[in-house]
Structure 1
Amino acid sequence: MRLIFDLDGTLVDSLPDIHAAASATLVEMGRDPLDLATIRSFIGHGVEPLVIDIMTASGADGDRAVWVEVFSRHYGHDNSTLTRPFDGVVEALAALAPLGRMGLCTNKPHGLALGVLKALDLGPFEVVIGGDSLPQKKPDPAPLLAAAAALGEGPVLYIGDSEVDAATAHAAGIDFALFTGGYRKTEAAELPHRFLFDHWSELPALVQSMA
């Protein structure tokens, strides 16, 4: 069994740190901060789309590259101060580790993703594909397929929380488990999935049912 996980909104609640970095960016660029719910709705596509959404919502113009640099500086300074694993994640990963090989596929830049995993002691993940690991990002299936290939042979399950994750798994032809406690905006039933789970304690039994 190959188990591949999304990061933000799936394994960890990173919204507080992302919101703090967004607020610091907006203040530095002379704009008012945006509320938590607005920033939450922007998460999932990677740093540059997030920053573009922030600029649009705040009515800002200017050089996008400068905004990305400012946000990356604020977020990269310490992106795990407020970020925490969702309840049950640590225990679920420990239970899942004997069942197969585990990897990560996220649109967060590779270095930032590794920083979160290290700070929160999450894993073990044999492969980590970030938003800058390939020319393509999710929902293009290439990153997920690359992660699956790196883990060898066997059935594959992708575990995520969002519309982007569901679309990625669908495009890759890979079974999808949807964590309902993440950052999606669409009703869970409307997203293509093999499994739904509300709490991480449910996932090991779902994975075992695939064997």
Structure 2
Amino acid sequence: MVMERKYGIMSYKLAIFDMDGTILDTLEDLESSLNFALTEAGFPVRKREDVRRFLGNGMQRLIELAVPSDCPEEKKTKILERFKEHYKIHCADRTKPYDGITELLQDLRKSGCRTAVVSNKGDFAVQELNQQYFAGLMDCAIGEKEGVRKKPAPDSVNEVLKKLQIDRQDAVYIGDSEVDIHTAKNAGMDCIIVSWGFRERDFLTAQGAELIVDSAEELERQILGA
């Protein structure tokens, strides 16, 4: 069954996607770069499930959650710098699109639906990965930038809407975490959550997810109203 549109429309003109855990499986490369920086600093490495839980609120928050609670601020800053340096080189070593995502984006564009990315990942990595995996398939891609509030603030979503000149009632935000649920709410937009990302279904439901899809094909039907 297709989700009932809050604004009574049959299909969306714009689909805005989160990146990590939504369209790209980035977990292994993020884990590798994080543990590189932690090891270099003399701290214990983090297990993959820990890293999964830490993701969603930007790179600085990732480091804050990964280091011991008594880690000095200047050391956190150095670890963050080393993480970024390593990740810039290794961000696509094992990263790959989730099943059906490339075909989904191709179908959306053939149907006239525009597409964009808004992520809390550093903008340098968003641009690199978007170009490598989705060249020609996104109208706009925005990552975390200095001086711009990150999600769940709606600032970057609003920037996309303004740039593409599309009303928010004609757009939908797609993500995999509580950050994305709250981003869509703060932007006044419909929201679709995917089940294959970095959070468990029960947690997402408790956070207010109204629609959770289990495949790219189901996601396409919801976006296009098919």
TM-score (norm 1): 0.92
What is the distance in 2 between the residues matched to 1:182 and 1:203?
Answer: 14
Per-residue deviation, 1:193: 4.1
Per-residue deviation, 1:47: 0.8
Q: Which moved more, 1:134-143 or 1:157-166?
A: 134-143
Per-residue deviation, 1:188: 3.0
What is the distance in 2 between the residues matched to 1:208 and 1:39?
Answer: 34
What is the distance in 2 between the residues matched to 1:45 and 1:206?
Answer: 26
Q: 1:200 to 1:122 in 2, by over 3 A?
A: farther
What is the distance in 2 between the residues matched to 1:174 and 1:94?
Answer: 23
Matched residue count? 209
Q: Which runs of 5+ in 1 are unaligned?
A: none
Counterpart amino acid of 1:101?
R
Counterpart amino acid of 2:223?
V
Matching residue within 190, 195, 199 for 1:184: 199
Task: Note the alpha carbon deviations across 1:78-117, whole angstroms, 9 max, x for none.
Answer: 2010111111111111111123111110011112111112
Aligned to 2:177: 162
Alignment map for 1:60-79 (pairs within 5 Å): 60-63=71-74, 64-79=76-91
Per-residue deviation, 1:121: 3.5
Per-residue deviation, 1:62: 4.9
Q: Which runs of 5+ in 2 are unaligned?
A: 1-12
What is the distance in 1 between the residues matched to 2:40 and 2:216?
Answer: 38
Q: Secondary structure at the match of 1:130?
A: strand
Q: Secondary structure at the match of 1:105?
A: strand
Aligned to 1:201: 217
Contact 2:194 2:212 in 1 (8 A): yes
Aligned to 2:7: none
Per-residue deviation, 1:208: 1.9
Q: Which moved more, 1:67-76 or 1:13-22?
A: 67-76
Per-residue deviation, 1:134: 5.1
Aligned to 1:13: 25
Per-residue deviation, 1:194: 4.9
What is the distance in 1 between the residues matched to 2:28 and 2:128?
Answer: 16
CA RMSD of aligned residues (A): 1.8
TM-score (norm 2): 0.86
What is the distance in 2 between the residues matched to 1:123 and 1:195?
Answer: 28
